[in-house]
Chain A
Amino acid sequence: MAAIELVDLKREFRQAKRFDGPFGAVRTLLTGEYTTRTALDDISFAIEPGESVAYLGPNGAGKSTTIKILTGILVPTSGSVRVLGNEPHTHRQENARQIGVVFGQRSQLWWDLPLIDSFDLHQRIYKIAPARFRANLAFCEEVLRMEQFLHTPVRQLSLGQRMRGELAMALLHEPDVLFLDEPTIGLDVLAKDRIREFLKLVNRERGTTIMLTTHDLRDIEELCERIIVVNLGKLVYDGRIAALRERLGSERTIVIEFSDDPGTVEIPHATLVEDRGVRKTFTFNRAEVPALDLVAALPRNLAIADISFEEPSIEEVIRRLYRSMETDGPDKEEIDTWTRGQVVTQ
């Protein structure tokens, strides 16, 4: 059984139609006309137990709507949704006991009380056996290094400390599925690293299924092998990051440093993108020409100090994907063809 399963999930929102002009507000009030906006349009995917999946999309793509439906606080317009076999919105409380949720922008801790008090209350709410609770707390305390601030009131914690607290709380009742909505938002590099390490450990050691939304693509690189991308309510990509990189990121960069400025240098199959005299940057398509052939094709008479290749970062890959969704650029058609294939075949 899949941990999370969506089949043709659709969610529409009705919004009062707004009119312009000085009496627009009055017209809005009187006409009672509505426009329907589709936030999620026939989304289908399944996540197996123990998987760690990044759920991506530009702002307003429908990520939060999906998380809300999965946590049972929003009812889908049509389609079916299952989390660990339950339909979340009809079994909200049962679902709640089996999942952990962290909203990066919303705190679930008791603001005025020490962190430990929130955990204590959590134990009672989720009816966690004392021995299990102690073991889980000890685990979180150690890995997230919370001992220095466990007894500090939440309002005095730094954002990074608070996020660690939120994460620990979401895991104390040993949920099988963990939903993370932008868990690293606003954190410094060290705090982000710590949280990623922790999530990796939880996913690996406990087999907790993780689904996270993020705008920080380093999160994905470190945590998730699979990504699901939505845009304007539609599923645009579901698959491994490596595959996406292969398709979108076949373009490589080669940087050559010469001992003396050689003037103009031409390399077959490569395009010059930056020329700083002794340091020249070219791009080439890996599918068209193997990197070794490219190096072999370099003019022999030039003294070369250093050669380096640069892989496209995941940022670059995702940026290209988003951009291609927005504009009908040259990539558009190519991406359309293969994403369509990808979605249909999976």
Chain B
Amino acid sequence: MNVYVAMIGKSYRKHLVYRSEVWVRIAIGVVWVAIQVAVWTALIGEDEVDGISLSDMITYSIVNTVMALAMMDRSLAELDQRIRSGDIAVDLIKPFHYPLTLVVDGMGRSLFSALFSVLPTLAIAILFFGFQAPASPVNVLGFVVAFVLALSISFALACLVGMLGFYFLATFHFQWALGALRTLFAGTMVPLWFYPDGLRTLANLLPFQHLAFGPAATWMGELTRAEIGRNLGLGALWAAALLGICWWMWARIVRRLVVQGG
């Protein structure tokens, strides 16, 4: 375990090397919130739509932007490249579990993001646009769990797309597809409560809503306790299932590399 803890630290330091990235990421976060605030101001104004006020939407935008900043798991983009170039051989020779090193690498990155882009962005956004406090401690707790699930699901999805690199020449189209599905069904920009019934039912059947809408709605107290519980249960199921598929696919890839020689 010691090894993996040390790797979190190394990954954190690795990202610290690119300090200029910090400013860009903060700027992107703030601009992104500002755009959403402008859009919702134009759409809602002083009124309420379906019981949702402008202030609600600002909070929703900030929570989602902050989550997106913490998630951008790019360490998995390397996986696809390493598999294709055969560099993965180097990782297989080492006496450690390679997929776990990817997880801890992601954790180091998230730690870095949390300190250097999430917190500053959050502070600036709150200062300029205002922010609603969470409804109750239960909502905060629910949000924390939902956020961890969101990180796991997003990691698993990125991992799956990365591993597709083993079977296909390029994975950028899969990445686009994943990005499109996320944008539409996660409710990152438009909360699912504005969706028509059919689309919302579909979104509820997919894992993507657990990436953005679920945690944000939990934070804001827009869900009843029963709904929060059901959401977390479903999210946990999705996370377990997707990580399980990742595990199975990884074992298959290693076996194919080792037995068939790629």
Residues in chain A within 8 A of chain B (CB atoms): 11, 13-14, 39, 65, 68, 71-75, 89, 92-93, 96-97, 101, 103, 106-108, 110, 112-113, 117, 120-121, 124-126, 153
Contacts and interface: CB of A to CB of B under 8 A. Distances in A.
A68 B260 CA distance: 12
Given A73-B258, A89-B258, A125 B96 contact: yes
A92 B92 contact: yes
8 contacts: A13-B260, A73-B92, A96-B93, A106-B90, A112-B14, A112-B17, A125-B94, A125-B96
B20 interface: no
Contacts of A72: 93
Given A97-B95, A103-B90, A106-B90, A14 B10 contact: no
B257 interface: yes
Interface stretch (B1-9, B175-183, B188-196): B1-9
Given A106-B90, A125-B3, A96 B95 contact: yes
Nearest to B255: A75
Given A14-B260, A68-B89, A74-B258, A96 B14 contact: no
B48 interface: no
Interface string B58-93: 000000000000000000000000000011011011
Interface in B1-42: 2-3, 6-7, 10, 13-14, 17-18
Contact of B14 (A13, A65, A73, A113): A113
A101 B93 CA distance: 8
A153 B17 contact: yes
Contacts of B7: 121
A117 B13 contact: yes
B259 interface: yes
Contacts of B260: 13-14
A120 B7 CA distance: 10
Contacts of A89: 258
B198 interface: no
A334 to B, nearest CB: 35
Nearest to B18: A112
A120 B3 CA distance: 10
Contacts of B14: 110, 112-113
B51 interface: no
B137 interface: no
Contacts of A65: 261
A185 to B, nearest CB: 16
A19 B254 CA distance: 29
B92 A125 contact: no
Given A73-B258, A106-B87, A106-B89, A124 B6 contact: yes
B17 to A, nearest CB: 5
Contacts of B90: 101, 103, 106-108
A74 B3 contact: no
Contacts of A101: 90, 93
A167 to B, nearest CB: 15
B261 A13 contact: yes
Given A11-B261, A110-B10, A113-B13, 11 more contacts: A73-B257, A73-B258, A89-B258, A92-B92, A93-B95, A101-B93, A106-B86, A106-B87, A106-B90, A112-B14, A124-B6
Contacts of A74: 257-258, 261
> Top 4 closest A-B pairs, CB basis?
A96-B95, A93-B95, A112-B14, A124-B3
B93 A121 contact: no
B81 to A, nearest CB: 12
A73 B10 CA distance: 26
A125 B95 contact: yes
B257 A117 contact: no
A132 to B, nearest CB: 17
B112 to A, nearest CB: 12
A335 B3 CA distance: 53
Contacts of B86: 106
Nearest to B260: A14
A73 B93 contact: yes
Interface string B145-170: 00000000000000000000000000
A68 B94 CA distance: 13
Interface in B110-136: none
Contacts of A103: 89-90
Given A121-B7, A125-B95, A75 B13 contact: no
A182 to B, nearest CB: 14
A124 B4 CA distance: 9
A44 B261 CA distance: 21
A89 B260 CA distance: 13
Contacts of A68: 89, 261
A14 B259 CA distance: 11
A143 to B, nearest CB: 24
A245 B149 CA distance: 67
Nearest to B91: A108
Contacts of B95: 93, 96-97, 125-126
Nearest to B82: A106
A89 B7 CA distance: 26
